[in-house]
Structure 1
Protein backbone atom coordinates (compact mmCIF):
# COMPACT_ATOMS: atom_id res chain seq x y z
CA UNK A 1 0.00 0.00 0.00
CA UNK A 2 1.00 3.64 -0.26
CA UNK A 3 0.73 6.11 2.62
CA UNK A 4 1.29 9.85 2.15
CA UNK A 5 3.07 11.70 4.96
CA UNK A 6 4.06 15.37 4.61
CA UNK A 7 3.51 15.15 0.84
CA UNK A 8 5.86 12.14 0.61
CA UNK A 9 4.49 8.80 -0.56
CA UNK A 10 5.83 5.85 1.41
CA UNK A 11 5.51 2.23 0.32
CA UNK A 12 4.26 0.05 3.17
CA UNK A 13 3.54 -3.66 3.20
CA UNK A 14 1.74 -5.58 5.96
CA UNK A 15 1.84 -9.36 6.35
CA UNK A 16 0.20 -11.47 9.05
CA UNK A 17 -1.75 -10.60 12.20
CA UNK A 18 -0.85 -10.24 15.85
CA UNK A 19 1.59 -8.07 17.77
CA UNK A 20 3.40 -5.68 15.42
CA UNK A 21 6.97 -6.10 14.19
CA UNK A 22 8.36 -3.19 12.14
CA UNK A 23 11.28 -3.98 9.83
CA UNK A 24 13.69 -1.27 8.61
CA UNK A 25 16.20 -2.14 5.86
CA UNK A 26 19.73 -0.92 5.21
CA UNK A 27 21.22 1.59 2.76
CA UNK A 28 20.63 0.56 -0.90
CA UNK A 29 18.05 -1.98 0.31
CA UNK A 30 14.27 -2.16 0.37
CA UNK A 31 11.50 -3.77 2.37
CA UNK A 32 11.75 -6.82 0.11
CA UNK A 33 15.12 -7.74 1.65
CA UNK A 34 13.21 -8.82 4.76
CA UNK A 35 10.79 -11.26 3.09
CA UNK A 36 12.77 -14.44 3.94
CA UNK A 37 12.75 -13.35 7.61
CA UNK A 38 9.13 -12.19 7.55
CA UNK A 39 8.04 -15.61 6.28
CA UNK A 40 9.17 -17.02 9.65
CA UNK A 41 7.02 -14.59 11.66
CA UNK A 42 3.90 -13.71 9.70
CA UNK A 43 1.90 -16.64 11.13
CA UNK A 44 2.11 -15.20 14.65
CA UNK A 45 2.92 -11.49 14.19
CA UNK A 46 1.78 -8.54 12.12
CA UNK A 47 4.89 -7.69 10.09
CA UNK A 48 5.17 -4.12 8.82
CA UNK A 49 7.69 -3.41 6.09
CA UNK A 50 8.51 0.12 4.97
CA UNK A 51 10.69 1.31 2.09
CA UNK A 52 12.74 4.03 3.80
CA UNK A 53 12.80 7.46 2.14
CA UNK A 54 14.90 7.41 -1.06
CA UNK A 55 14.67 3.63 -1.44
CA UNK A 56 12.50 1.07 -3.20
CA UNK A 57 8.99 2.26 -4.04
CA UNK A 58 9.00 5.20 -1.61
CA UNK A 59 9.54 8.69 -3.01
CA UNK A 60 13.03 10.10 -3.54
CA UNK A 61 12.62 13.87 -3.09
CA UNK A 62 15.30 16.25 -4.33
CA UNK A 63 15.62 18.11 -1.01
CA UNK A 64 18.26 16.35 1.11
CA UNK A 65 16.94 18.03 4.29
CA UNK A 66 13.86 15.79 4.10
CA UNK A 67 16.15 12.80 4.74
CA UNK A 68 17.18 13.97 8.21
CA UNK A 69 16.99 10.88 10.43
CA UNK A 70 14.76 12.52 13.04
CA UNK A 71 12.45 13.89 10.36
CA UNK A 72 12.16 10.42 8.81
CA UNK A 73 11.51 8.92 12.25
CA UNK A 74 8.59 11.36 12.63
CA UNK A 75 7.30 10.19 9.25
CA UNK A 76 7.33 6.58 10.43
CA UNK A 77 5.40 7.49 13.59
CA UNK A 78 2.85 9.20 11.33
CA UNK A 79 2.61 5.99 9.28
CA UNK A 80 1.93 3.99 12.46
CA UNK A 81 -0.72 6.57 13.42
CA UNK A 82 -2.33 6.15 10.01
CA UNK A 83 -2.35 2.37 10.51
CA UNK A 84 -3.82 2.81 14.04
CA UNK A 85 -0.85 0.96 15.56
CA UNK A 86 0.04 2.14 19.07
CA UNK A 87 3.30 0.28 19.60
CA UNK A 88 5.71 -2.01 17.79
CA UNK A 89 8.83 -4.07 18.19
CA UNK A 90 11.52 -2.62 15.93
CA UNK A 91 13.98 -4.65 13.86
CA UNK A 92 16.56 -2.51 12.04
CA UNK A 93 19.61 -3.37 9.98
CA UNK A 94 22.59 -1.00 9.52
CA UNK A 95 21.09 2.33 8.34
CA UNK A 96 17.67 0.99 9.31
CA UNK A 97 19.09 0.18 12.73
CA UNK A 98 20.24 3.76 13.20
CA UNK A 99 16.74 4.88 12.22
CA UNK A 100 15.20 2.33 14.59
CA UNK A 101 17.35 3.66 17.42
CA UNK A 102 16.25 7.22 16.64
CA UNK A 103 12.64 6.05 16.89
CA UNK A 104 13.20 4.22 20.17
CA UNK A 105 15.00 7.16 21.79
CA UNK A 106 12.58 9.85 20.60
CA UNK A 107 9.32 7.86 20.90
CA UNK A 108 9.96 5.34 23.71
CA UNK A 109 6.25 5.00 24.50
CA UNK A 110 5.66 3.54 21.01
CA UNK A 111 8.38 0.87 21.11
CA UNK A 112 8.13 -2.46 22.99
CA UNK A 113 11.49 -4.00 22.14
CA UNK A 114 14.41 -3.09 19.89
CA UNK A 115 16.51 -5.39 17.72
CA UNK A 116 19.55 -3.82 16.07
CA UNK A 117 21.58 -5.75 13.49
CA UNK A 118 25.04 -4.39 12.65
CA UNK A 119 24.14 -0.89 13.69
CA UNK A 120 25.38 2.02 15.78
CA UNK A 121 24.27 5.15 17.67
CA UNK A 122 26.30 7.28 15.27
CA UNK A 123 29.70 8.85 15.85
CA UNK A 124 30.53 10.24 19.28
CA UNK A 125 32.88 13.09 18.33
CA UNK A 126 31.99 16.08 16.15
CA UNK A 127 35.38 15.77 14.42
CA UNK A 128 34.53 12.17 13.45
CA UNK A 129 31.12 13.26 12.15
CA UNK A 130 32.71 16.03 10.06
CA UNK A 131 35.17 13.62 8.43
CA UNK A 132 32.41 11.08 7.75
CA UNK A 133 30.13 13.78 6.30
CA UNK A 134 32.90 14.83 3.90
CA UNK A 135 33.43 11.22 2.80
CA UNK A 136 29.68 10.65 2.37
CA UNK A 137 29.38 13.84 0.31
CA UNK A 138 32.27 12.73 -1.91
CA UNK A 139 30.63 9.35 -2.48
CA UNK A 140 27.29 11.04 -3.14
CA UNK A 141 28.90 13.23 -5.80
CA UNK A 142 30.53 10.16 -7.37
CA UNK A 143 27.13 8.44 -7.56
CA UNK A 144 25.60 11.55 -9.11
CA UNK A 145 28.41 11.70 -11.65
CA UNK A 146 28.78 8.00 -12.52
CA UNK A 147 25.30 6.56 -11.98
CA UNK A 148 23.68 3.67 -10.13
CA UNK A 149 25.38 0.79 -11.95
CA UNK A 150 28.83 2.21 -11.22
CA UNK A 151 27.91 2.60 -7.58
CA UNK A 152 26.45 -0.91 -7.20
CA UNK A 153 29.64 -2.36 -8.72
CA UNK A 154 31.66 -0.34 -6.21
CA UNK A 155 29.38 -1.18 -3.26
CA UNK A 156 29.52 -4.92 -3.93
CA UNK A 157 33.31 -4.87 -3.54
CA UNK A 158 33.72 -2.95 -0.28
CA UNK A 159 35.24 -4.99 2.59
CA UNK A 160 32.01 -4.72 4.62
CA UNK A 161 30.31 -7.16 2.23
CA UNK A 162 33.22 -9.48 1.51
CA UNK A 163 31.51 -12.42 3.22
CA UNK A 164 28.57 -12.10 0.80
CA UNK A 165 30.75 -13.26 -2.09
CA UNK A 166 30.11 -16.84 -0.93
CA UNK A 167 26.33 -16.50 -1.23
CA UNK A 168 24.56 -18.42 -4.01
CA UNK A 169 24.50 -16.82 -7.45
CA UNK A 170 20.71 -16.58 -7.20
CA UNK A 171 20.82 -14.62 -3.94
CA UNK A 172 23.60 -12.32 -5.15
CA UNK A 173 21.72 -11.58 -8.38
CA UNK A 174 18.54 -10.78 -6.46
CA UNK A 175 20.40 -8.36 -4.16
CA UNK A 176 22.08 -6.70 -7.14
CA UNK A 177 18.80 -6.33 -9.03
CA UNK A 178 17.13 -4.74 -6.03
CA UNK A 179 20.03 -2.30 -5.54
CA UNK A 180 19.93 -1.29 -9.20
CA UNK A 181 16.23 -0.48 -8.87
CA UNK A 182 17.02 2.44 -6.55
CA UNK A 183 17.12 6.00 -7.86
CA UNK A 184 20.31 8.04 -8.00
CA UNK A 185 18.74 11.01 -6.19
CA UNK A 186 17.43 8.76 -3.42
CA UNK A 187 20.80 7.20 -2.63
CA UNK A 188 22.66 10.51 -2.98
CA UNK A 189 20.33 12.29 -0.56
CA UNK A 190 20.25 9.35 1.86
CA UNK A 191 24.03 9.64 2.18
CA UNK A 192 23.86 13.41 2.64
CA UNK A 193 20.79 13.60 4.88
CA UNK A 194 20.76 10.29 6.78
CA UNK A 195 24.40 9.20 6.69
CA UNK A 196 26.33 8.36 9.84
CA UNK A 197 28.11 11.71 9.66
CA UNK A 198 24.94 13.79 9.47
CA UNK A 199 22.84 12.11 12.18
CA UNK A 200 22.99 13.15 15.86
CA UNK A 201 25.10 11.00 18.16
CA UNK A 202 22.85 8.91 20.43
CA UNK A 203 25.66 7.52 22.60
CA UNK A 204 24.82 9.79 25.54
CA UNK A 205 21.11 8.93 25.35
CA UNK A 206 21.42 5.14 25.40
CA UNK A 207 21.08 5.11 29.19
CA UNK A 208 17.51 6.44 28.91
CA UNK A 209 16.39 3.45 26.83
CA UNK A 210 14.84 1.06 29.32
CA UNK A 211 13.19 -1.38 26.89
CA UNK A 212 14.82 -4.76 26.10
CA UNK A 213 17.41 -4.39 23.33
CA UNK A 214 19.02 -7.16 21.29
CA UNK A 215 22.29 -6.27 19.52
CA UNK A 216 23.22 -8.71 16.75
CA UNK A 217 26.57 -8.68 14.94
CA UNK A 218 28.52 -11.00 12.69
CA UNK A 219 31.81 -12.32 14.05
CA UNK A 220 33.71 -11.33 10.88
CA UNK A 221 32.39 -7.76 11.17
CA UNK A 222 34.71 -6.83 14.05
CA UNK A 223 33.96 -3.11 13.91
CA UNK A 224 30.24 -3.51 14.56
CA UNK A 225 30.76 -6.24 17.15
CA UNK A 226 32.93 -3.79 19.11
CA UNK A 227 30.24 -1.10 18.73
CA UNK A 228 27.63 -3.57 20.02
CA UNK A 229 29.85 -4.37 23.01
CA UNK A 230 30.26 -0.67 23.86
CA UNK A 231 26.53 -0.02 23.39
CA UNK A 232 25.64 -2.86 25.76
CA UNK A 233 27.63 -1.16 28.52
CA UNK A 234 25.43 1.94 28.27
CA UNK A 235 22.04 0.31 27.67
CA UNK A 236 20.20 -0.71 30.86
CA UNK A 237 18.61 -3.84 29.37
CA UNK A 238 20.70 -5.15 26.46
CA UNK A 239 21.90 -8.49 25.17
CA UNK A 240 24.61 -9.02 22.53
CA UNK A 241 24.54 -11.95 20.09
CA UNK A 242 27.72 -12.46 18.05
CA UNK A 243 27.11 -14.86 15.14
CA UNK A 244 30.06 -16.95 14.00
CA UNK A 245 31.10 -17.22 10.37
CA UNK A 246 29.13 -14.26 9.02
CA UNK A 247 29.71 -10.57 8.35
CA UNK A 248 27.58 -7.42 8.27
CA UNK A 249 24.25 -8.73 6.89
CA UNK A 250 23.42 -11.70 9.12
CA UNK A 251 19.78 -11.84 7.97
CA UNK A 252 21.03 -12.35 4.40
CA UNK A 253 23.97 -14.66 5.08
CA UNK A 254 22.30 -16.88 7.69
CA UNK A 255 18.53 -16.11 7.63
CA UNK A 256 17.30 -19.18 9.53
CA UNK A 257 19.70 -18.62 12.41
CA UNK A 258 18.87 -14.89 12.45
CA UNK A 259 15.17 -15.77 12.64
CA UNK A 260 15.81 -18.20 15.49
CA UNK A 261 17.71 -15.60 17.55
CA UNK A 262 15.00 -12.98 17.00
CA UNK A 263 12.23 -15.48 17.83
CA UNK A 264 13.90 -16.43 21.10
CA UNK A 265 14.31 -12.76 22.04
CA UNK A 266 10.67 -12.01 21.26
Structure 2
Protein backbone atom coordinates (compact mmCIF):
# COMPACT_ATOMS: atom_id res chain seq x y z
CA UNK A 1 0.00 0.00 0.00
CA UNK A 2 1.43 3.38 -1.02
CA UNK A 3 1.91 5.90 1.77
CA UNK A 4 3.00 9.50 1.96
CA UNK A 5 6.70 9.81 1.10
CA UNK A 6 9.44 9.67 3.66
CA UNK A 7 11.99 12.27 2.63
CA UNK A 8 15.41 13.18 3.90
CA UNK A 9 19.07 13.45 3.09
CA UNK A 10 21.83 10.86 3.17
CA UNK A 11 25.45 11.93 3.36
CA UNK A 12 27.96 10.53 0.86
CA UNK A 13 31.52 9.62 1.77
CA UNK A 14 32.75 13.05 0.64
CA UNK A 15 30.11 14.87 2.69
CA UNK A 16 27.69 15.59 -0.17
CA UNK A 17 24.06 15.67 0.99
CA UNK A 18 21.81 13.49 -1.17
CA UNK A 19 18.04 14.01 -1.18
CA UNK A 20 15.80 10.94 -1.29
CA UNK A 21 12.09 10.08 -1.34
CA UNK A 22 10.57 6.76 -0.19
CA UNK A 23 6.96 6.05 -1.13
CA UNK A 24 5.37 2.93 0.33
CA UNK A 25 6.13 0.34 2.98
CA UNK A 26 6.95 -2.89 1.11
CA UNK A 27 10.28 -4.10 -0.29
CA UNK A 28 11.49 -1.02 -2.20
CA UNK A 29 12.22 -0.62 -5.88
CA UNK A 30 15.03 1.91 -6.38
CA UNK A 31 14.24 4.07 -9.41
CA UNK A 32 17.23 5.82 -11.02
CA UNK A 33 16.64 8.68 -13.43
CA UNK A 34 18.42 9.79 -16.56
CA UNK A 35 21.29 12.22 -17.04
CA UNK A 36 20.89 15.67 -15.47
CA UNK A 37 17.48 14.74 -14.05
CA UNK A 38 16.17 14.41 -10.52
CA UNK A 39 13.43 12.27 -8.93
CA UNK A 40 10.68 14.05 -10.90
CA UNK A 41 11.73 11.92 -13.89
CA UNK A 42 9.54 9.24 -12.28
CA UNK A 43 6.51 11.40 -11.45
CA UNK A 44 4.19 9.65 -13.91
CA UNK A 45 5.37 6.10 -13.27
CA UNK A 46 6.36 5.74 -9.62
CA UNK A 47 2.73 5.16 -8.64
CA UNK A 48 2.70 1.97 -10.73
CA UNK A 49 4.86 0.31 -8.08
CA UNK A 50 3.86 -0.33 -4.45
CA UNK A 51 7.09 0.89 -2.84
CA UNK A 52 9.77 3.05 -4.44
CA UNK A 53 12.91 4.91 -3.46
CA UNK A 54 13.98 7.78 -5.68
CA UNK A 55 16.81 10.24 -5.21
CA UNK A 56 18.21 13.46 -6.56
CA UNK A 57 21.65 12.85 -8.02
CA UNK A 58 24.35 15.17 -6.76
CA UNK A 59 24.02 18.33 -8.79
CA UNK A 60 20.22 18.05 -9.10
CA UNK A 61 17.09 18.78 -7.10
CA UNK A 62 17.56 19.15 -3.35
CA UNK A 63 20.96 17.44 -3.31
CA UNK A 64 24.25 19.30 -3.01
CA UNK A 65 26.10 20.20 -6.21
CA UNK A 66 29.82 19.98 -5.43
CA UNK A 67 32.14 21.19 -8.19
CA UNK A 68 34.05 17.91 -8.43
CA UNK A 69 34.41 15.14 -10.99
CA UNK A 70 31.19 13.12 -11.45
CA UNK A 71 31.08 9.51 -12.61
CA UNK A 72 28.59 6.66 -12.87
CA UNK A 73 30.62 4.70 -10.33
CA UNK A 74 30.40 7.66 -7.98
CA UNK A 75 26.65 7.91 -8.50
CA UNK A 76 26.40 4.18 -7.67
CA UNK A 77 28.20 4.81 -4.38
CA UNK A 78 25.69 7.59 -3.70
CA UNK A 79 22.83 5.11 -4.21
CA UNK A 80 24.38 2.85 -1.57
CA UNK A 81 24.71 5.83 0.79
CA UNK A 82 20.96 6.43 0.43
CA UNK A 83 20.13 2.77 1.08
CA UNK A 84 22.41 2.78 4.13
CA UNK A 85 20.72 5.88 5.50
CA UNK A 86 17.31 4.26 5.07
CA UNK A 87 18.45 0.97 6.60
CA UNK A 88 17.67 -0.99 3.43
CA UNK A 89 19.96 -4.01 3.10
CA UNK A 90 18.53 -5.29 -0.21
CA UNK A 91 16.34 -3.73 -2.89
CA UNK A 92 15.24 -4.16 -6.47
CA UNK A 93 16.85 -1.61 -8.79
CA UNK A 94 15.41 -0.09 -11.99
CA UNK A 95 17.56 2.39 -13.86
CA UNK A 96 16.76 4.12 -17.12
CA UNK A 97 19.12 5.98 -19.45
CA UNK A 98 22.10 7.19 -17.37
CA UNK A 99 20.29 5.65 -14.41
CA UNK A 100 20.70 2.30 -16.15
CA UNK A 101 24.44 2.95 -16.37
CA UNK A 102 24.51 3.73 -12.67
CA UNK A 103 22.42 0.64 -11.91
CA UNK A 104 24.98 -1.55 -13.71
CA UNK A 105 27.63 -0.44 -11.23
CA UNK A 106 25.31 -0.82 -8.25
CA UNK A 107 24.64 -4.45 -9.22
CA UNK A 108 28.24 -5.25 -10.19
CA UNK A 109 29.98 -3.63 -7.22
CA UNK A 110 27.40 -4.27 -4.51
CA UNK A 111 25.76 -7.57 -5.55
CA UNK A 112 24.50 -8.31 -2.05
CA UNK A 113 22.36 -5.15 -2.16
CA UNK A 114 20.44 -5.94 -5.37
CA UNK A 115 17.72 -8.62 -5.51
CA UNK A 116 16.57 -8.01 -9.10
CA UNK A 117 17.80 -5.56 -11.72
CA UNK A 118 15.98 -3.77 -14.55
CA UNK A 119 18.00 -1.80 -17.12
CA UNK A 120 16.02 0.48 -19.40
CA UNK A 121 17.10 2.43 -22.53
CA UNK A 122 20.75 2.27 -21.56
CA UNK A 123 24.20 1.13 -22.73
CA UNK A 124 27.29 -0.66 -21.44
CA UNK A 125 29.28 2.34 -22.64
CA UNK A 126 32.91 2.39 -23.69
CA UNK A 127 34.17 1.05 -26.99
CA UNK A 128 31.67 -1.82 -26.95
CA UNK A 129 28.54 0.29 -26.51
CA UNK A 130 26.62 1.74 -29.45
CA UNK A 131 26.77 5.43 -28.72
CA UNK A 132 24.51 8.30 -29.67
CA UNK A 133 25.51 10.54 -32.55
CA UNK A 134 27.28 13.87 -32.16
CA UNK A 135 24.03 15.60 -33.14
CA UNK A 136 22.30 13.98 -30.18
CA UNK A 137 25.20 14.88 -27.85
CA UNK A 138 24.90 18.51 -28.95
CA UNK A 139 21.19 18.56 -28.15
CA UNK A 140 21.93 17.27 -24.65
CA UNK A 141 24.71 19.77 -24.07
CA UNK A 142 22.55 22.72 -25.20
CA UNK A 143 19.35 21.61 -23.53
CA UNK A 144 18.34 25.09 -22.35
CA UNK A 145 17.69 26.47 -25.85
CA UNK A 146 14.13 26.12 -27.13
CA UNK A 147 15.32 24.33 -30.26
CA UNK A 148 17.34 21.81 -28.27
CA UNK A 149 14.48 21.12 -25.88
CA UNK A 150 12.10 20.57 -28.78
CA UNK A 151 14.60 18.16 -30.30
CA UNK A 152 14.94 16.38 -26.95
CA UNK A 153 11.15 16.02 -26.69
CA UNK A 154 11.20 14.39 -30.11
CA UNK A 155 13.91 11.96 -29.00
CA UNK A 156 11.92 11.06 -25.90
CA UNK A 157 8.41 10.64 -27.35
CA UNK A 158 6.73 9.91 -30.65
CA UNK A 159 4.90 12.82 -32.30
CA UNK A 160 1.54 11.09 -31.96
CA UNK A 161 2.00 10.59 -28.22
CA UNK A 162 3.10 14.19 -27.70
CA UNK A 163 0.05 15.41 -29.60
CA UNK A 164 -2.20 13.48 -27.22
CA UNK A 165 -0.12 14.31 -24.14
CA UNK A 166 1.07 17.92 -24.49
CA UNK A 167 3.02 18.01 -21.24
CA UNK A 168 4.71 19.52 -19.37
CA UNK A 169 7.23 16.70 -19.39
CA UNK A 170 9.41 15.89 -16.40
CA UNK A 171 12.15 14.00 -18.26
CA UNK A 172 13.84 16.93 -20.03
CA UNK A 173 16.32 17.91 -17.33
CA UNK A 174 16.24 19.10 -13.73
CA UNK A 175 15.63 22.78 -13.12
CA UNK A 176 18.24 24.96 -11.48
CA UNK A 177 21.31 22.82 -12.14
CA UNK A 178 24.53 24.87 -12.04
CA UNK A 179 26.56 24.73 -15.27
CA UNK A 180 29.35 22.68 -13.68
CA UNK A 181 26.82 20.02 -12.64
CA UNK A 182 25.31 19.86 -16.13
CA UNK A 183 28.80 19.33 -17.55
CA UNK A 184 29.60 16.82 -14.83
CA UNK A 185 26.57 14.69 -15.64
CA UNK A 186 27.41 14.76 -19.35
CA UNK A 187 31.00 13.70 -18.67
CA UNK A 188 29.85 10.98 -16.27
CA UNK A 189 27.44 9.47 -18.79
CA UNK A 190 29.86 9.74 -21.71
CA UNK A 191 32.68 8.22 -19.66
CA UNK A 192 30.71 5.17 -18.55
CA UNK A 193 32.26 1.79 -19.39
CA UNK A 194 30.99 -1.23 -17.45
CA UNK A 195 31.74 -3.85 -20.11
CA UNK A 196 34.27 -5.79 -18.05
CA UNK A 197 32.10 -5.60 -14.91
CA UNK A 198 28.83 -6.80 -16.43
CA UNK A 199 29.56 -10.56 -16.13
CA UNK A 200 29.92 -10.03 -12.36
CA UNK A 201 26.25 -9.10 -12.03
CA UNK A 202 24.48 -11.93 -10.20
CA UNK A 203 20.99 -10.45 -9.84
CA UNK A 204 18.33 -11.70 -12.29
CA UNK A 205 18.23 -8.98 -14.94
CA UNK A 206 15.63 -7.64 -17.37
CA UNK A 207 16.71 -5.30 -20.19
CA UNK A 208 14.05 -3.00 -21.69
CA UNK A 209 14.30 -0.73 -24.73
CA UNK A 210 12.30 1.14 -27.32
CA UNK A 211 13.19 0.18 -30.87
CA UNK A 212 13.15 3.82 -32.12
CA UNK A 213 15.56 5.18 -29.51
CA UNK A 214 18.35 7.49 -30.77
CA UNK A 215 19.51 8.63 -27.33
CA UNK A 216 20.55 5.07 -26.46
CA UNK A 217 20.40 3.04 -29.69
CA UNK A 218 18.44 -0.21 -29.26
CA UNK A 219 21.40 -2.34 -30.33
CA UNK A 220 22.69 -1.84 -26.80
CA UNK A 221 19.95 -4.06 -25.35
CA UNK A 222 21.28 -7.36 -26.76
CA UNK A 223 24.83 -6.26 -25.93
CA UNK A 224 23.89 -5.87 -22.26
CA UNK A 225 21.91 -9.11 -22.18
CA UNK A 226 24.79 -10.96 -23.78
CA UNK A 227 27.20 -9.83 -21.06
CA UNK A 228 24.95 -10.29 -18.00
CA UNK A 229 24.40 -13.95 -17.12
CA UNK A 230 20.81 -15.05 -17.75
CA UNK A 231 19.53 -11.59 -18.68
CA UNK A 232 16.32 -11.25 -20.69
CA UNK A 233 15.32 -8.55 -23.20
CA UNK A 234 11.97 -6.92 -23.94
CA UNK A 235 11.67 -4.38 -26.76
CA UNK A 236 8.74 -1.99 -27.20
CA UNK A 237 7.91 -1.44 -30.86
CA UNK A 238 7.80 2.15 -32.04
CA UNK A 239 8.89 3.55 -28.67
CA UNK A 240 11.59 6.13 -28.20
CA UNK A 241 13.79 6.89 -25.19
CA UNK A 242 10.97 7.49 -22.70
CA UNK A 243 9.32 4.11 -23.38
CA UNK A 244 8.64 3.78 -19.62
CA UNK A 245 6.32 6.79 -19.86
CA UNK A 246 4.81 6.46 -23.33
CA UNK A 247 4.27 2.69 -23.05
CA UNK A 248 2.59 2.75 -19.68
CA UNK A 249 0.92 0.72 -18.31
CA UNK A 250 2.41 -2.12 -20.38
CA UNK A 251 6.04 -1.43 -19.48
CA UNK A 252 5.28 -1.08 -15.76
CA UNK A 253 3.32 -4.32 -15.84
CA UNK A 254 6.31 -6.07 -17.44
CA UNK A 255 8.53 -4.80 -14.65
CA UNK A 256 6.08 -5.81 -11.93
CA UNK A 257 5.78 -9.32 -13.36
CA UNK A 258 9.56 -9.66 -13.48
CA UNK A 259 9.93 -8.46 -9.88
CA UNK A 260 7.34 -10.94 -8.74
Instruction: State the partner residue of 2:185.
Output: 190
CA deviations over 1:142-161 (Å, ceiling 9, x no partner): 65xxxx632x6414315971
Instruction: State the partner residue of 2:22.
Output: 14
Instruction: State the partner residue of 2:107.
Output: 104
Aligned pair in 2 of structure 1 residues 58, 156: CA closer, same or farther (>3 Å)? Answer: farther
Pair 1:85-2:83 in alignment: no
Three-state SS of the structure 1 residue aligned to 2:20 is: strand
- Counterpart CA distance in 1 for 2:197 and 2:184 is 26
Gaps of 5+ in 2: 1-6
Instruction: State the partner residue of 2:8.
Output: 2
Aligned pair in 2 of structure 1 residues 30, 250: CA closer, same or farther (>3 Å)? Answer: same
Instruction: State the partner residue of 2:31.
Output: 23
Structure with greater helix share of residues: 1
| Number of residue pairs the alignment of both structures matches | 248
Following superposition, the deviation at residue 36 of structure 1 comes to: 2.4
CA deviations over 1:213-253 (Å, ceiling 9, x no partner): 10001122276321111221222111100111211111121
Aligned pair in 2 of structure 1 residues 217, 107: CA closer, same or farther (>3 Å)? Answer: same
Residue pairs, 1:1-266, within 5 angstroms = 1-3=7-9, 4-5=11-12, 6-42=14-50, 46-63=51-68, 65=69, 67-124=70-127, 143=142, 149-150=144-145, 153-158=147-152, 161=155, 163-168=157-162, 171-175=165-169, 179=173, 181-185=175-179, 186-192=181-187, 194-196=188-190, 198-199=191-192, 201-221=193-213, 224-266=217-259
Three-state SS of the structure 1 residue aligned to 2:255 is: helix
- Higher mean displacement: 92-101 or 28-37: 28-37
Following superposition, the deviation at residue 172 of structure 1 comes to: 4.6
Residues 2, 9 of structure 1: 8 Å contact kept: no
Residues 92, 99 of structure 1: 8 Å contact kept: yes
Gaps of 5+ in 1: none
Following superposition, the deviation at residue 59 of structure 1 comes to: 2.1
Aligned pair in 2 of structure 1 residues 154, 139: CA closer, same or farther (>3 Å)? Answer: closer
Residues 94, 103 of structure 2: 8 Å contact kept: yes
TM-score by length of 1: 0.81
- Higher mean displacement: 53-62 or 235-244: 53-62
Three-state SS of the structure 2 residue aligned to 1:27 is: coil
Residues 30, 178 of structure 1: 8 Å contact kept: no
Following superposition, the deviation at residue 176 of structure 1 comes to: 6.2
Three-state SS of the structure 2 residue aligned to 1:149 is: coil
CA RMSD after TM alignment: 3.0
TM-score by length of 2: 0.83
Three-state SS of the structure 2 residue aligned to 1:214 is: strand
Aligned pair in 2 of structure 1 residues 210, 15: CA closer, same or farther (>3 Å)? Answer: same
